[in-house]
Amino acid sequence: MDRRRLFQRLSGLFCAAYVAFLAIPGIKFLRAPLRDTRRTSKRRRLAKLSDLEVGVPRKVVVIDQRTDAWTRYPAGPIGAVWLLRRDDTTVEAFSATCPHLGCAVQRAAAADEFFCPCHEAKFSNDGTVIAGPSRRGLDTLDVALESVGDETWVAVTFDKFQLGTAEKLSRG
Amino acid sequence: MANIRDWIDDRTGYRGFLHGVLLLNFPVDRASRWRYVWGGSLSILFVVELVTGTLLMTVYSPSEAAAWGSVHYIEHNVAWGHFIRGVHHYTSNMMLIVILIHALTLVITAGYRRPREFTYWTGLILGGLVLGLAISGNPLPWDRKGYWAYQIETGIAGTMPGIGAQLRTMLVGGTDFGNLTLTRLYTLHVIVLPAAAVFLLVIHIALMRREKLLIVKKAAGPLGIAPQNMEPYWPYQTTRNMIVGAFLLAIVVLQLNFYPEWTPQGAVDSVPDEAVVAITQTAPADPDSTYIARPEWYVRFLFELRHMVDKEHEVYITAGLPAAIVLFMVLMPFYESILGRKLAHWFSLTVFVAGLGGVLFLTFLGTYHDRTDDSFQLAQRKEIEQAGRAIWLASQNGIPPEGPAGLLRNDPQTMGPQLFQTHCAHCHTWDGHDGTGTPTMEIVEGKPVPATPSASDLKGFGTAQWLTTFLTDPSDEKFFGNMHKITGGDEFSEGAMVAWAEENVGEELLTQKQIQAVAALIAEEARHSDAAPISAEVRELGVQVFAGGLKDADGEDLDFGNCLRCHEMGAGDPDEVGSDGEDAGLDLNGYASEEWLKEFIRDPGGETFYPDKNVMPGFDSTEISDRDLNLLVKWMRNEWPR
């Protein structure tokens, strides 16, 4: 190898070293927040059983502390849940976030069904799709009834799910 | 493959463009290549700064409420964040040093001479821009160090003759520091100065290239062949540049690992051992904070000089001297026309080297002054402690939405000593000092001397240990001993407790064990969260001392103790006998508990305290707010997060 080739190789080598020096930590740095999945689903008491009428859905806002990167927010809304009491001892809970693209699910004005105004998705009272572009029904959440003193509370494990998929996948 | 490259080159001419931009076949004198590395290394370091800076931008947030927290997040919660920020910070310092070396080699080789004047001048401006980038970057974390540095820098800008006031308003975004100050600073640092630097770098290199190609053309002769002693820039010069650049970056990486800005010396009491990390940011900016500011090393010489002249002439140092330096450098190409080539060169070189030497001397003088200045070292140590505390608190609880200043303002460990010093240290001491570690001073015959306190030492107030020492000798200086200095204080320094101790404490009287037992019983009233529970034995002994049921080895009654005669305390009075009406002493129920302390400080002359013989002033809510009282009391009771 002549002198010129040697220097060309050295130049290339150093160039690669510089790129690695910046790119390896740099890409790890950029990807770091993407791997931040420390959120643990908590079970929270949302409403008293006695406040829920059978067959009448009720929307409850979930209030809790929220951490946004470095900021810790005091208690505030972090999401909403539709509670539907089936009978004396069964309550179902649906996430009020539309599984299509994330808008807030409401009740239809003139029908006994759930309705999302963004793309006119319609869901029946058991969460299944009636009409609209959503690839799956409303996301169900785990419910447990807890007795506190003489009151029975409806406790829901709130979670967030990926949007637009046919399968219900937790976002963590 | 080659066909594709030819196809693109035919249509775009990219090869010619690359040769121009990267100086690929730029001819260089063989003999002097290592001397040329400094400019090339600077370009490499500049690219490193652009990349690391852009990476930091993905997390950093330029607002008063978020800046400090976002930097904390980078340092502690983002993978490689500490590394990227460290490279960014130390490379900027490295660039300033390399600029000085680059300038020195230039003056030595007289690289400012015709036809290179504009190359030289664009280089000078670039140097100024890099200095500006360093200065504008330091305050961005909006910690105390950066905040006060920028306060001073904008203050100096405000003293510039003529344009001062306007200039400062523009920089600060108003009259007072706030959100707009930070956003303007950020704009300067992230787009204005870097864009100007890139623009000037392109011109700087373009001018170099033009000049060199003209030389080659002239020397090539009629056949257009380049002279023997020239070689293309790439790969020979670029390799050398990259080697030196890598060496400089290796120093940067060593610095960021082994030379963190401030290291807590030994354990810092307010931060758990495992949390003691290198302090890479000081406590959050707080306009109420006191901070002894020192400039960065590269302007330290100005700081030393301005303290050597009196006030009216200060502007000569802060404005005049930098202007003179700039003027000296800018006019360098013109000295030849006055002094002749050789003399001008020697003159320039001598003044430059002498100036550099003077700057270095003053810089080292300054750091020497700091190292030997005890009060500065003490203040530094306190800064480090507060920084460590703020960093730990932020790691535990995050930052509140309104900003990080609340972290320390709501921390008993931080505020307690200051509140004690302000309100209590006139009379009381805390472990011999005023709460913050410095002794209270008083003026005696015109000189400040450590003061003798007139009230008790309150460290460990209400704990079993404090009470044991108190009961053993209430007339000690640490308790009532000095109270005769206050009008009415002799009721205490020669009062009932002192008399009790004389009759009950000593050889053949109450033993240490018995005193400790009753002290432990009384200490329970305080409900200190770090107090150990007392055993049944100790409790029984304590009640015997308190209520006067002590018996000796033969079962005979011993008339020692008998606290109950004067002091009410439910826990010491199981038979609910109650104390006498006469000689009524302090009600000990809940003694030194949080509620008791708060009530006592507000009104020591109250019913359950010292209604007849009180000598301590009360502090109502206009003197100490409820919030401050809570912080003070929690600190006194050693109840703060750790």
pLDDT digits over B135-170, tens only? 999 999 999 989 998 999 999 899 888 899 999 999
E-state strands within chain A? 43-48, 58-68, 71-85, 91-95, 106-107, 114-116, 121-123, 129-131, 140-141, 143-148, 151-157
B73: nearest CB among A8, A30, A70: A70
Q: What residues of chain A lie within 8 A of the CB of B52, using their CB?
A: 22, 26
Distance from CA of B373 to the nearest CA of A (A): 37
Distance from CA of B71 to the nearest CA of A (A): 9
pLDDT at A61: 93
Q: Which region holds residue B266: left if phi is over 0, alpha if psi is between -120 and 50, else beta?
A: left
- Is the confidence at residue B435, as pLDDT, over 90? no
Burial of B351 (0-12, 13-18, 19+ CB in 10 A): middle
Residue A29 to residue B78, Cβ atoms within 8 A: yes
Min mean pLDDT across A120-129, A137-146, B7-16, B217-226 is at: B217-226
Please, which pLDDT band fits residue A69 given cuts at 50, 70 and 90? confident
Q: What is the DSSP string of B389-443?
A: HHHHHHHHH-B-TT-THHHHHT-HHHHHHHHIIIIITTT-BBTTBBSSSSPPEEE
A11: nearest CB among B238, B249, B398: B238
Main-chain phi, psi angles of A103, to 5 degrees: -75, 170
B80 touches chain A (CB under 8 A): yes
Percent of chain B with pLDDT over 90: 45
Token match 């080292």: residue?
Answer: B364
3-state secondary structure of A77: strand
- Is the confidence at residue B221, as pLDDT, over 90? no
> Whole-angstrom Cα distance, residue B190 to residue B53?
8
* C-beta pairs of B191-194 under 8 Å, 24+ apart in sequence: B193/B129, B193/B132, B193/B133, B193/B136, B194/B50, B194/B53, B194/B133
Question: Nearest to residue A94, comparing CAs of A131, A53, A66, A62?
Answer: A62
**CA-to-CA separations, B593 to B325, B423, B521, B588, in angstroms, rounded:** 65, 20, 13, 10
Please, which pLDDT band fits residue B266 given cuts at 50, 70 and 90? very low
- Is the confidence at residue B177, as pLDDT, over 60? yes
Could you state, in order of their start, the residue ranges of all structural domains in chain B? 22-375, 464-591
Please, which pLDDT band fits residue B32 given cuts at 50, 70 and 90? low
Could you state, in order of their start, the residue ranges of all structural domains in chain A? 1-37, 43-157
CB B133 within 8 A of CB B191: no
Q: Which of residues 53-112 of A touch B (CB under 8 A)?
A: 67, 69-74
B55 touches chain A (CB under 8 A): yes
> Whole-angstrom Cα distance, residue B641 to residue B389?
10
Q: Which of A18, A31, A34, A71 best tests the B interface by mutation, with the highest count of B CBs <10 A? A: A71
DSSP B192: I
CB B568 within 8 A of CB B591: no
Q: What residues of chain B lie within 8 A of the CB of A30, using their CB?
A: 55, 58
A71: nearest CB among B44, B234, B401: B401
Residue B77 to residue A70, Cβ atoms within 8 A: yes
Please, which pLDDT band fits residue B226 given cuts at 50, 70 and 90? low
Nearest 5°: the CA angle B241, B244, B248 is 130
Q: Which fold has domain A43-157?
A: Rieske Iron-sulfur Protein (2.102.10)
Q: Could you check whether the bond before residue B417 is cis, i.e. omega within 30 degrees of 0? A: no
Computed over every residue of chain B, the mean pLDDT equals 87
A29: nearest CB among B55, B69, B401: B55
The residue in chain B having the minimum alpha-carbon distance to the alpha carbon of residue A3 is B236
Q: What residues of chain A lie within 8 A of the CB of B235, using their CB?
A: 4, 7-8, 10-11
Nearest 5°: the CA angle B355, B356, B357 is 90
A37-54 pLDDT tens trace: 556 678 889 999 888 888
Distance from CA of B233 to the nearest CA of A (A): 11
DSSP A172: -
The residue in chain A having the minimum alpha-carbon distance to the alpha carbon of residue B55 is A26
Residue B263 carries which side chain, given as an amino acid letter?
A: T
The residue in chain B having the minimum alpha-carbon distance to the alpha carbon of residue A27 is B55
Please, which pLDDT band fits residue B33 given cuts at 50, 70 and 90? confident
- Is the confidence at residue B281, as pLDDT, over 70? yes
Please list the residues that pair with A81 across neighbouring strands. A95
- Is the confidence at residue B176, as pLDDT, over 50? yes
The residue in chain B having the minimum alpha-carbon distance to the alpha carbon of residue A76 is B401
B239: nearest CB among A14, A18, A26: A14
Query: Within chain B, how many helices (H) and strands (E) appear?
Result: 26, 4
pLDDT at B26: 67
Main-chain phi, psi angles of A82, to 5 degrees: -95, 120
Q: What residues of chain B lie within 8 A of the CB of A29, using their CB?
A: 55, 58, 78-81, 84
Q: Which region holds residue B480: left if phi is over 0, alpha if psi is between -120 and 50, else beta?
A: alpha
Buried b / exposed e across B573-583, counting CB within 10 Å, b at 16+? Answer: beeeeebeeee
> What is the distance between the terminal CA atoms of chain B, rounded to a whole angstrom?
65
Q: What residues of chain B lie within 8 A of the CB of A8, using their CB?
A: 235
CB B316 within 8 A of CB B309: yes
B601-634 pLDDT tens trace: 999 998 888 888 888 999 999 999 999 999 999 9
Q: What residues of chain A lie within 8 A of the CB of B231, using their CB?
A: none
- State whether CATH 1.20.810.10 applies to domain B22-375: yes
How many CB contacts within 8 angstroms connect chain A with chain B? 83
Compute the half-sphere exposure of residue B541: CA atoms within 13 Å on the CB side of its CA: 17
A71: nearest CB among B44, B69, B81: B69
Residues 6+ apart with CB under 8 A from B337: none
Q: What residues of chain A lie within 8 A of the CB of B239, using their CB?
A: 7, 10-11, 14
Residue B642 token pair? 């750790």
Residues 6+ apart with CB under 8 A from B131: B96, B298
Residue A72 to residue B246, Cβ atoms within 8 A: no
Q: What residues of chain A lie within 8 A of the CB of B44, using their CB?
A: 18
3-state secondary structure of B127: helix
Residue B69 to residue A8, Cβ atoms within 8 A: no
A33 touches chain B (CB under 8 A): yes
The residue in chain A having the minimum alpha-carbon distance to the alpha carbon of residue B242 is A14
A32 vs B290, which has greater pLDDT?
A32
As a whole number of Å, the CA-based R_g of chain B is 36
B84: nearest CB among A29, A31, A69: A29
* Max CA pair span of chain A: 91
Residue A71 to residue B66, Cβ atoms within 8 A: yes
Residues 6+ apart with CB under 8 A from B74: B56, B59, B60, B81, B82, B84, B85
E-state strands within A124-164? 129-131, 140-141, 143-148, 151-157
Residue B48 token pair? 């490193």
B151 vs B214, which has greater pLDDT?
B151
Main-chain phi, psi angles of B381, to 5 degrees: -65, -40
- Is the confidence at residue B262, as pLDDT, over 70? no
A21 touches chain B (CB under 8 A): yes
DSSP B313: G
pLDDT at A34: 63
Please, which pLDDT band fits residue B276 given cuts at 50, 70 and 90? very low
DSSP A45: E
Q: What residues of chain A lie within 8 A of the CB of B83, using their CB?
A: 25
B222 vs B631, which has greater pLDDT?
B631
Q: Averaged over B322-347, what is the pLDDT?
A: 92
A10: nearest CB among B48, B59, B239: B239
